Amino acid sequence: MNVTHVPYFTLAAYGDIGQLRYVCFVFVLCVYVFIVGANVFLIVVICVNRSLHEPMYMFLCSLFVNELYGSTGLFPLLLVQILSDVHSVPASLCFLQIFCVYMYAGVEFFNLTVMSYDRYVAICHPLQYSTRVTPQRAAALIAVCWSSSCLISVSLISLSAPLPLCGNLINKVYCGYHSVVKLSCSNSSVSNFLGIMISCLSVSVTLALILFSYLRILQVCLSGCKQSRAKALSTCTPHLASLINFSFGCVFEVLQSRFNMSRAPSGLRIFLSLYFLSCQPLFNPLLYGLRMSRIHHSCRRLLAGRK
C-alpha cells in the first residue's frame, strides 16, 4: 500500500472463529457488565458512606472511575468487532482509542503512586497524617493524576497523528501508539524515540516514588511490633497486588507492541491485548471489596438496606 493517509485501520489480531463469535460476544459482554456493575457499586458505596470520605478512599474512588474509563475505551468497540466480518476501524476512532488507552494507563500508574504515598505517610508518620494528607490535598493529587495523564496522551497523539502511513494493519484487537508509528512511510525514529522517552520517564518516576515509599514502610515494619506489622501488611497488600497485576499487563502490552507478533497464535495475541485493559478493572473491585474490611462491611450494609 503506497499512501500517505489511511481512512481506516484493520485490527488483524482477530481470528476467524465462525459461530463461536456469538459465544465470545456473550462472554465479553458479561465481563464488561460485571466490570461496570462492580466498579459503579463500589463508587456508590464510597460516595454514600460518610465514614469513607477520607483521602485513602478518595484515591480508591478515582481508581474505580479509571477502571470504568479504561474498560469503556476497549469493550464497546471490541463487542462490535467480534460480531463484524471486517475488522476495520475509522482512523479518527482509532486515535481516540489510543488517547483513551494511554490516559487510562497513565491515571492508573499515577493513582497507584499517590496511594503508595498515602500509605507511606499513614504508616511512617501517623501523627502527621491528618495534616499532610487532607481531603483537599487528596483531591488536588487526583486532579494532577488525571491532568498529567491527559497531557501525556495528547502528546502521544500529536506525535503519531501527523505521520504519513504506508499501511493500515494493526496486529492487535485495539489501536496502540507504537502500532501506528510502525506503519509510517517516513522516518519515524524521532516520534518513536519521543514516545518511548515520554512513557519511560512517566513510568520510571512513578516506580521510583512507589519504591521509596515501600522501602520506608518496610523499615518501619521491621522495627515495629507485631501488631503494627500486621496492620501495615493488611493495608498495603491490596495496593501491592494491584500494582503487580497492572505491571504484568504493561509488560504484556510492551511485548506485543515492540515485537513482531504476526506469527504468534491468534489466541495468544488476543490474550495479551485483553489482559492489559480488562484484568485490572476485573481485579481491583474484587481485591479492594473483599480485602479492605471497611469497604467490605459498607457493601454488606448497603446491600442490606442499612445506613
Which pLDDT tens digit goes with each residue over 221-273? 777 667 766 767 777 788 888 888 888 888 777 777 666 666 666 666 677 77
List the domains of the chain with CATH numbers. 8-303 (1.20.1070.10)
Residue 303 has pLDDT above 80, yes or no: no
* Residue 145 exposure: Cα atoms within 13 Å on the Cβ side: 26
- Confidence grade of residue 186 (pLDDT, cut at 50, 70, 90): low
Percent of the chain with pLDDT over 70: 83
- pLDDT confidence of residue 188: 57
User: Element (H or E) spanning 35, and its range?
Assistant: helix 20-48
| Cα angle 160, 11, 109; round to 5 | 55
38-67 pLDDT tens trace: 999 889 888 888 888 889 889 999 999 999
- Confidence grade of residue 7 (pLDDT, cut at 50, 70, 90): confident
> pTM score, two decimals?
0.86
Distance between alpha carbon 153 and the CA centroid of its chain, in Å?
13
95-138 pLDDT tens trace: 899 899 889 989 998 999 999 999 889 888 888 888 899 999 99
- pLDDT confidence of residue 28: 87
Q: Which residues of 21-43 are buried (b: 16+ CB within 10 A; e: fewer)?
A: beebbeebeebbeebbebbebbb
The mean per-residue pLDDT over the stretch 129-157 comes to: 91
Q: Which of the pair, 23 or 20, is modelled with greater confidence?
A: 23
Mode of pairing for the β-strands spanning 169-170 and 8-11: parallel
Residue 2 has pLDDT above 50, yes or no: no
261-294 pLDDT tens trace: 666 666 666 777 778 788 888 888 888 877 676 7
Torsion of CA 263, 267, 268, 270, to 10 degrees: 100
- pLDDT confidence of residue 5: 66
- pLDDT confidence of residue 189: 62
Query: CA-CA distance, 192 to 12, in Å (whole number)?
Result: 22
18: which 3 cell numbers? 465462525
Q: Exposure of 105 by Cβ count < 10 A (0-12 exposed, 13-18 middle, 19+ buried)?
A: buried
29: which 3 cell numbers? 459482554
- pLDDT confidence of residue 258: 66
- pLDDT confidence of residue 66: 94
Query: CA-CA distance, 31 to 300, in Å (whole number)?
Result: 23
